[in-house]
Amino acid sequence: MQDLAAGGLDLTTCSVPEARAIIEAGKAKSLAIMAPARNPVFKDVPTLKEAMGIDYATGAWRGIGAPKNLPPEIATKLTAALKKVYESAEFRDFMSNRGFGTVWGDATQFAGFMDKGDAQMGEAMKAAGLSKA
């Protein structure tokens, strides 16, 4: 975003919340979001499907990693603690007030999410001619 605001780039992709300060300063404009629905904090920014007819969604994600072969009892405690944070009003308010969406997933759900994202990115790269596979 700094390179975009400085004139070094004409276009970049990032989440609207992380670009918020530069957008609000008038140094950049969000053309579309890659999401199935508009962001309630940035309601004037159309989805990619609305703007260009492209039905594609992706976004920033956050995950916590732990060493391979973590003992199950520690993984269970870690998952419970993270879910408690996720469900807290403080975290939910912090994220939503900044325009970030949240979705909870345990380790298995997160692994499935990552696998699906990898497959979708591979398809997009192939369609754009960036992959031979």
Domain range annotation of the chain:
1-59, 61-133
- Residue 123: count other Cβ atoms within 10 Å of its Cβ: 12
Tell me what percent of the residues of the chain surpass a pLDDT of 90: 48
**Residue 29, token pair as written in the block:** 């404009």
pTM exceeds 0.85, yes or no: no
Confidence of residue 133 (pLDDT cuts 50, 70, 90): low
Q: Check residue 107 and give its pLDDT.
A: 92
In CATH, what number does 1-59 get? 3.40.190.10
pLDDT tens-digit series, residues 23-60: 999 888 999 999 899 998 899 999 999 999 988 888 78
Q: Check residue 99 and give its pLDDT.
A: 87
Confidence of residue 91 (pLDDT cuts 50, 70, 90): very high
The 3 state secondary structure assigned to 56-100 is CCCCCCCCCCCCCCCCHHHHHHHHHHHHHHHHCHHHHHHHHHCCC
